[in-house]
Chains A and B, each alone.
Chain A
């Protein structure tokens, strides 16, 4: 029996592919093109990095349990970002069995954090329990927006700056260094809490200028009312109204210490603006290959905790760096054309065609 028939009953793989295809085919969510078309980095990542990711997990299983491995990944949205490499699976040297094992492992580790629904199909990303939520609310200083209405817009700008900063240092894969979770219902469901955790904001081995940023971790707790907010499994907050207009209260932690004054909040925004100017200066003369090297290095860097447990070097091998200095193969561009033509078919037939295309890449 051909292996392809086995995936019909393989629910985990089917779910992962359906999630991926559903997400990328959202008609009003344009594919990122900064600083390159979103599909292009996959060729650079899938040849060596996927094997690195797979083999790291397999080796770790010999020394620690799966819960510990999940903790090393830090957060579920980061793991979800690896699933975006699915369309590049055909360019990896992993066998079909290894690819299936990798996908199943990633789903398991996402499930360590998301007890309800790995894919947040109800648009809720629930990671903390109520004890943890209450602990954080008690520990921080809560700022009331009605006492300072301008604060709402300042918080909005801080979130824009931090989210864009995560896009910058992760070069499109923004959810590698943030986790947005909730909405957690509070006050009998009248109000809800949205939590934004930004972490690993100073990856200096990859981006030296980030040592100038004031924090490695920033957590923002926001309480809203009368607005519909959803969170998808890849770190996007879905809303169609002005967030500051519905913000009631906010609490901020910088490197786990509560922020206690309006001037500290303003200082945070200024720091965000300064670091962005530094980021733009740093990358002013970047070409495509420079960006690809950074995407690749960041992916390897996020496996440093795993490599530390194994006593191995996290840095990408020389062959990987050399690959980043070349154009993808014509085979990959032909694949992108085929992928693109199926992608553009917005009908159900197009959806199924894309699912089949991705499935074939996994079972190739």
Chain B
């Protein structure tokens, strides 16, 4: 069955992961994140670290291959797609998605 593409961005860290999206718009929302959720954010910065440490993948609105999200994803060995433009608007909390960090694509599961 062909997967539906929801978002396209830059492939920042390789790998494919399925999981639940958690949209986090600021450090005050970090408590939403459970282990192995997919972190969906405008961008990452150090104060997002507690959520990053739980994430099975990261998807961001902005950034490039040397952005913070890309670097921490490659360090952690988790897939990452950056520069999707609208991930935090298009995705919903607990939506089941597939993140392909090798191709830079996010699919509906």
Contacts and interface: CB of A to CB of B under 8 A. Distances in A.
Interface in A122-167: 152-153, 156-157, 159-161, 163-165, 167
Contacts of A273: 50, 53
A277 B50 contact: yes
Contact of A239 (B45, B46, B63, B74): B74
Given A30-B63, A164-B72, A156 B77 contact: yes
Nearest to A172: B46
A244 B75 CA distance: 7
Interface string A83-115: 000000000000000000000000000000000
Given A26-B66, A273-B50, A153 B76 contact: yes
Contacts of A279: 47
A82 interface: no
B14 A242 contact: yes
Contacts of A284: 27
B49 to A, nearest CB: 4
A241 B64 contact: no
Given A34-B45, A239-B74, A157 B53 contact: yes
A345 B46 CA distance: 29
Given A34-B47, A161-B49, A273-B53, A241 B74 contact: yes
Contacts of A243: 74-75, 77
B91 interface: no
A241 B49 CA distance: 20
Contacts of B45: 33-35
A152 B75 contact: no
Given A240-B65, A242-B77, A244-B76, A160 B14 contact: no
A163 B46 CA distance: 9
A29 B12 CA distance: 13
Contacts of A2: none
Contacts of B14: 241-242, 245
A152 B77 contact: yes
The number of chain A residues touching the other chain, given as a range, is 35 or more
A241 B45 CA distance: 20
Interface string B12-49: 01110000000000010010000000000000011101
A280 interface: yes
Contacts of A242: 13-15, 74, 77
Contact of B30 (A168, A280, A283): A280
Nearest to B54: A273
A335 B51 CA distance: 37
B52 interface: yes
B74 A168 contact: no
Contact of B75 (A30, A33, A156): A156
Interface in A223-275: 239-245, 269, 272-273
A161 B77 contact: no
Given A28-B65, A28-B66, A159 B75 contact: yes
Interface string B80-99: 00000000000000000000
A276 interface: yes
Contacts of B76: 153, 156-157, 160, 244
22 contacts: A28-B66, A29-B64, A29-B66, A30-B63, A34-B45, A34-B47, A153-B77, A159-B75, A160-B75, A163-B72, A168-B49, A240-B65, A240-B74, A241-B14, A242-B13, A242-B14, A243-B77, A245-B14, A273-B50, A277-B50, A279-B47, A283-B47
